[in-house]
């Protein structure tokens, strides 16, 4: 049993702190940002994005000489975020024509881009070939034909990697597992040699550049990464022996976890399995070392082959999750005398943090206006949406989320709360549900200045794309 100890264990020195009783982000008063830019508000730290990208690179570069860190832009594709990752030496993974467009617009070069997706359209494939990206990660034999056709039409060679889906189970949420044969992703092991042969039979259209696996997101253990890498290596080494073809890269995907729980007192109320998943930390260097060990190349040829390979990582969450938070104001308070509960109603619901409803994802909630006070009073907390599922707990009373959130006594309207570690998969999954314009995004620049990197939507934005005939 974990004790309900600790006061401010969420603090990250130099980034998230409680100063003079209030939450600060890179030294900037969070609640004051809400006064200035409105509520709710997404806030990011540029310094932390740059730091996370560089640290990850350094960790894997220490293990293998050729590596690429292709930031999974689906985690957060705000242009200022992409620009910060690029400046920090990151490359990029995209999952749609739109993300490809954003990557290009941000300034990523073709050799920095890999493209995943289970149902790429001809237009998306053409755009990727035309730009000459590092790899289109092929998701089926059908798609390989689709790419071959498009390349011939364009008179260009497409760089491709074959996405393999062996049966690799992780201890993550089932919705976040992608290495299972029951998942919709990739080619089965029994189809890989066929895919290789077809790719090599079309040298005018296809450059067989790599292989790819992504076992899932928030993967808490080393083993699935190591097994995945060894599976790919088996195919790569076999191909080289059989045909002499040397693949240029192995892409081990994303999925490095971040610790969402820290030493928060709420951890005691979350089921053990969930707790282990949410609080995992893995050293990316160790992940790579374990992968290389598991592959166990032997003999001069294999050693040369593996040394010459570029190893690609596609981290999203690990780079961006703990660089951002979502500020929300308490708008209403009510007592439920029959249950003894006090409810706090905020202005941020699942339309701004979808995973909280979809996966019952735990984001630690603290008070930004009373950051130093003891967070010891249980509240039912809920968002503003007209949906009973728009709550900060698990409506079905599962073990994924605690039933109550601990906040300072007396918390109520006028207080600003912060949902921490919401940098990944929140902003990009946000919607205007219930006629709520999406909020502004503020980035604390490395200079320490706060700047609006995406303006808040307006009511006019809610209707600006619609075409209708007024009845008046
Ligand atoms: N590469 C591929 C092929 C992926 O499918 C993903 C994530 C990543 C890389 C990045 O994974 P990461 O390093 O961020 O774990 N909507 C979910 C998250 C879905 C992640 C899908 N794929 C959520 O709300 O948590």
Structure token digits, residue 286: 């160790």
pLDDT of residue 2: 37
Give residue 174's pLDDT band: very low, low, confident or very high (50, 70, 90).
Answer: confident
Q: What does the domain layout of the chain look like in residue ranges?
A: 16-45+321-463, 109-315
Catalytic entry in 386, 435, 460, 467: 386
Other C-beta atoms closer than 10 Å to the C-beta of 339 total 9
Mean pLDDT across the chain, nearest whole number?
95
Would you tell me which CATH number, out of the four given (3.20.20.60, 2.40.50.140, 3.40.50.11540, 3.20.20.10), belongs to the domain 109-315? 3.20.20.10
Task: Kindly indicate the confidence band of residue 7, based on its pLDDT and cuts at 50, 70 and 90.
Answer: low
Q: Which of 73, 74, 164, 360 to mutate to test the pocket of ligand 1 (most atoms within 8 A of CB)?
A: 74
Q: What's residue 8's pLDDT? A: 66
Q: Give the position, in ligand 1's atom list, of the atom nearest the Cα of 218.
A: 15
Name residues whose C-beta falls within 8 Å of residue 34's C-beta, 6 or more positions apart in sequence: 40, 41, 327, 329, 368, 416
Which of 186, 254, 421 has the most ligand 1 atoms within 8 A of CB, as the residue to mutate?
254
* pLDDT tens for each residue of 50-72: 999 999 999 999 999 999 999 99
Closest by CA to 10, choosing from 409, 448, 364, is 364
State how far the alpha carbon of 28 is from the alpha carbons of 31, 43, 259, 376, 427, in Å: 9, 11, 24, 25, 21
Q: Residue 3 pLDDT more than 60?
A: no
Ligand 1: centre distance to CA 440 (Å): 24
To 5 degrees, how large is the angle CA 30–CA 36–CA 38? 85
* pLDDT above 70: residue 1: no
Residue with the smallest CA separation from ligand 1 atom 9 is 254
For ligand 1, mutation pick of 116, 314, 421 (most atoms within 8 Å of CB):
314
Better-predicted residue by pLDDT, 399 or 95:
95
- Residue 301 above 90 pLDDT? yes
Tell me: the pLDDT tens digits for 311-354? 999 999 999 999 999 999 999 999 999 999 999 999 999 999 99
**Cβ < 6 Å from ligand 1: which residues?**
72, 75, 93, 116, 176, 178, 214, 217-218, 253-256, 314-318, 355, 359, 424-425
Indicate the helix (H) or strand (E) that contains 18: strand 16-19
Of the candidates 104, 120, 113, the residue with the CA atom closest to the CA atom of residue 71: 113
Q: Which atom from ligand 1 is nearest to the alpha carbon of 116?
A: 3
Q: 3-class SS at 287?
A: helix
Q: Worst-scoring range by mean pLDDT, 133-147, 162-176, 210-224?
A: 162-176
User: Whole-structure pTM over 0.75, yes or no?
Assistant: yes
Give the ligand 1 atom nearest the CA of 321.
14
In the structure, what pLDDT confidence band is assigned to residue 382 with cuts at 50, 70 and 90? very high
| pLDDT in the model for residue 176 | 87
* pLDDT given at position 168: 87
Q: Whose CA is nearest to atom 8 of ligand 1?
A: 254
Which residue shows structure tokens 């006064």?
A: 35
CA distances from 457 to 101, 110, 175, 209, 453 (A): 22, 32, 30, 42, 12
Check whether 264 has a pLDDT greater than 60: yes
429-449 pLDDT tens trace: 999 999 999 999 999 999 999
Weakest mean pLDDT among 116-120, 172-176, 214-218, 448-452: 172-176
pLDDT by residue (tens digit) across 215-249?
999 999 999 999 999 999 999 999 999 999 999 99
pLDDT confidence band for 421 (50 / 70 / 90): very high
Active-site annotation holds for 70: no
Q: Which atom of ligand 1 is nearest to the CA of 255?
A: 15
Kindly report which listed range (86-90, 242-246, 258-262) carries the lowest average pLDDT score. Answer: 258-262
Provide the pLDDT for residue 6. 44
Give the CA count within 13 Å in the CB-facing half-sphere of 33.
31
Decide: residue 397, CB within 10 A, 0-12 exposed, 13-18 middle, 19+ buried: exposed
Tell me the C-alpha distance between 43 and 308, whole Å. 41
Q: Tell me, what's the pLDDT at 5?
A: 42
Longest dimension (CA), the chain: 80
Percent of the chain with pLDDT over 70: 98
Is 1.10.10.10 the CATH classification of the domain at 16-45+321-463? no
- pLDDT value of residue 441: 98
- Torsion angle of C-alpha atoms 178, 179, 182, 185, degrees rounded to 10: 60
Minimum CA distance residue for ligand 1 atom 24: 355
Please report the DSSP string for 58-102 in residue order: HHHHTT-SSEEEEEEGGG---HHHHHHHHHTT-EEEE-SHHHHHH
What pLDDT was estimated at residue 272? 87
Q: Please, which residues bridge with residue 212 across strands? A: 163, 251
Among 172, 422, 157, 395, smallest CA distance to 276 is for 172
Report whether pLDDT(266) > 50. yes
């Amino acid at each position: 049993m974990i004790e309900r100890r600790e006061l401010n264990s969420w603090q990250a020195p130099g980034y998230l702190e409680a100063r003079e009783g209030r939450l600060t982000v890179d030294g900037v008063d969070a609640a004051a940002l809400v006064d200035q830019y409105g509520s709710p508000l997404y806030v990011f730290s540029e310094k932390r994005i740059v730091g996370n990208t560089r640290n990850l690179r350094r960790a894997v570069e220490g293990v293998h000489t050729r590596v690429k860190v292709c930031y999974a832009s689906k985690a957060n594709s705000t242009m200022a975020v992409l620009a910060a990752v690029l400046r920090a030496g990151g490359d990029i993974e995209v999952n749609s024509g739109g993300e490809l467009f954003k990557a290009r617009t941000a300034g990523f070069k073709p050799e920095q881009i890999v493209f995943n997706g289970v149902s790429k359209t001809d237009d998306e494939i053409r755009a990727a070939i035309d730009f000459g990206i590092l790899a289109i990660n092929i998701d089926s034999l059908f798609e390989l034909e689709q790419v071959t056709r498009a390349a011939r039409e364009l008179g260009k060679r497409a760089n491709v990697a074959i996405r393999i889906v062996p049966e690799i189970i992780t201890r993550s949420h089932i919705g976040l597992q992608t290495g299972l044969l029951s998942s919709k992703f990739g080619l089965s092991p029994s189809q890989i040699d066929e895919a290789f042969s077809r790719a090599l039979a079309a040298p005018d259209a296809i450059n067989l550049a790599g292989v790819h696996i992504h076992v899932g997101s928030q993967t808490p253990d080393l083993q699935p990464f190591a097994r995945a890498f060894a599976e790919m290596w088996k195919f790569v080494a076999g191909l080289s022996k059989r045909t002499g073809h040397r693949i240029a890269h192995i892409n081990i995907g994303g999925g490095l976890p971040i610790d969402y729980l820290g030493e928060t007192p709420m951890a005691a109320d979350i089921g053990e399995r969930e707790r282990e998943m949410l609080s995992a930390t893995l050293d990316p260097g160790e992940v790579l070392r374990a992968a290389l060990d598991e592959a166990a190349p032997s003999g001069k040829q294999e050693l040369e082959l593996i040394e010459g390979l570029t190893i690609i990582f596609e981290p999203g969450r690990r780079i961006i999750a703990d660089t951002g938070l979502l500020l929300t104001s308490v708008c209403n308070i009510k007592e439920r005398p029959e249950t003894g509960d006090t409810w706090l109603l905020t202005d941020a619901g699942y339309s701004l943090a979808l995973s909280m409803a979809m996966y019952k994802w735990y984001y630690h909630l603290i008070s930004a206006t009373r950051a130093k006070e003891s967070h010891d009073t249980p509240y039912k907390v809920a968002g503003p949406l007209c949906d009973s599922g728009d709550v900060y707990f698990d409506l079905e009373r599962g073990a994924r989320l605690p039933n109550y959130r601990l906040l300072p006594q007396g918390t109520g309207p006028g207080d600003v709360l912060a949902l921490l570690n919401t940098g990944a998969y929140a902003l990009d999954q946000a919607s205007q549900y219930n006629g709520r314009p999406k909020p502004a995004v503020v980035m604390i620049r490395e200079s320490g200045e706060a700047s609006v990197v995406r303006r808040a939507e307006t009511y006019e934005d809610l209707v600006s794309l619609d075409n209708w005939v007024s009845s008046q």
